Amino acid sequence: MSDLTEDCAACDGLCCVAPAFDAGRMFAFDKPAETPCRHLGDGSLCRIHDQLAEAGMGGCALFGCKGAGQRTMARFAGRSWRDGPQAARAIFDAFADLRAVHDALELLVAAERLPLAPAEEVARQAHVDTLSGEGDTGALHAASVQARAFLRGLAPGLSQSLTPGGAGGTWPR
């Protein structure tokens, strides 16, 4: 399965470049999408990472790519979003796709702790295997949509198991 832990040293600062954010409670200033944050330093690391909350950048402290950044960069073997508009477009698109994939993987991993029927567990594992594969990022993104539909399909059966006194007790943490 793909690693769902961020490894900023194996990334290219994608979380500091790709997403947009608006000034407010979570961010001290506006930043358009696909524009480097003013705090992005050499080596594609945040210069204020240890003081994000104090600097008004609490939204950055809450964000996690769940490993999508390094998985994206591994696919581009040494290329960077700095290499020009074509490279940037491909990398940012792949990062967006893989963020959705890793979000779905996180939910599928959590679903392993649920009281699933054997067929549901087989389907859950098949989704994990697909999303952990090396396919085209667009195809993986489409598979993440299917995985989310699978997870939503589990919801009717979960209500009993996730209520006090139900078979599963409370939601696993």
| pLDDT tens-digit readout, 4-30 | 999 989 999 999 999 999 999 999 999
> Exposed, middle or buried by CB within 10 Å (0-12, 13-18, 19+), for 45?
middle
**Angle at which helices 85-111 and 68-75 pack, to 10 degrees?**
130
- The dihedral sign for the CA sequence 48, 62, 53, 57: positive
Sorted by where each begins, the domain ranges of the chain are: 68-173
Q: Where does 51-122 show beta strands of DSSP type E?
A: none
Task: Quote the pTM value.
Answer: 0.86
Q: Which two tokens stand for residue 147?
A: 């995985």
- Tell me, what's the pLDDT at 129? 97
Judged on CB neighbours under 10 Å (0-12, 13-18, 19+), 170 is exposed
What pLDDT shows up at residue 31? 97
Q: Is the predicted pLDDT of residue 158 greater than 90, yes or no?
A: no
